[in-house]
A = this chain, B = another copy of it.
Amino acid sequence: KTIVLLPGDGVGPEVVREARGALERVAELFGHSFAFSEHAIGGIAIDEHDDPLPQATLDACSKADAVLLGAVGGPKWDDPKRKVRPEQGLLGLRRGLGLFANLRPVRVHPKLAAASPLKTDKVEGVDILFVRELTGGLYFGQPRLREKLESGKVRAVDTLEYTDEEVRRVVHLAFRLAEPRKKRVTSVDKANVLESSRLWREVATEVGAEFKHVALEHQLVDSCAMRLITAARSFDVVVTENMFGDILTDEAAVLAGSLGLLPSASLGEGTRGVYEPIHGSAPDIAGKDIANPTGTILSAAMLLRHSLGLTREAEAVERAVDEVLSSGARTADIPGAGDALSTRAFGERVR
Q: Assuming the A-B contacts A191-B80, A229-B251, A251-B225, are A196 and B161 also in contact, with contact meaning beta carbons closer than 8 angstroms in the complex?
A: no
CB pair A80–B253 under 8 Å, yes or no, is no
Among the 9-residue stretches A9-17, A33-41, A152-160, A283-291, the one with 4 or more Cβ atoms under 8 Å from chain B is A152-160
A28 contacts chain B at the CB level, 8 A cutoff: no
Taken residue by residue from 152 to 174, chain A's Cβ proximity to chain B (1 for < 8 Å, 0 otherwise) reads as 01111111111111000000000
A85 contacts chain B at the CB level, 8 A cutoff: yes
CB pair A222–B193 under 8 Å, yes or no, is no
Among the 9-residue stretches A53-61, A114-122, A298-306, the one with 4 or more Cβ atoms under 8 Å from chain B is A114-122
Q: Which A residues contact B (CB, under 8 angstroms)?
A: 73, 80-81, 85, 87, 91, 117-119, 122, 138-139, 141, 144-146, 149, 153-165, 190-202, 221-223, 225-226, 228-230, 243-244, 246-251, 253-254, 259
Bound-state CA distance A229–B158 (Å) is 28
26 A-B residue contacts at CB 8 Å? Answer: A80-B198, A81-B202, A87-B192, A117-B119, A138-B138, A138-B193, A138-B194, A145-B195, A146-B198, A154-B199, A155-B161, A155-B162, A155-B164, A156-B200, A157-B159, A157-B196, A158-B194, A159-B160, A222-B246, A225-B247, A225-B248, A225-B250, A226-B250, A226-B253, A244-B247, A247-B247
CB pair A229–B117 under 8 Å, yes or no, is yes
Contacts of A156 in B (CB 8 A): 161-162, 195-196, 198-200
Q: Assuming the A-B contacts A223-B250, A230-B117, are A163 and B159 also in contact, with contact meaning beta carbons closer than 8 angstroms in the complex?
A: no
Shortest CB-to-CB span from A156 to chain B, Å, is 4
Shortest CB-to-CB span from A336 to chain B, Å, is 12
Shortest CB-to-CB span from A250 to chain B, Å, is 4
CB pair B118–A229 under 8 Å, yes or no, is yes
Q: Which of B195, B202, B251 contacts A158 (CB 8 A)?
A: B195
CB pair A229–B254 under 8 Å, yes or no, is yes
CB-based nearest B residue for A160:
B158
CB pair B149–A163 under 8 Å, yes or no, is yes
Contacts of A199 in B (CB 8 A): 146, 154, 156
Contacts of A250 in B (CB 8 A): 222-223, 225-226
CB pair B192–A73 under 8 Å, yes or no, is yes
Bound-state CA distance A215–B199 (Å) is 42
Shortest CB-to-CB span from A300 to chain B, Å, is 23
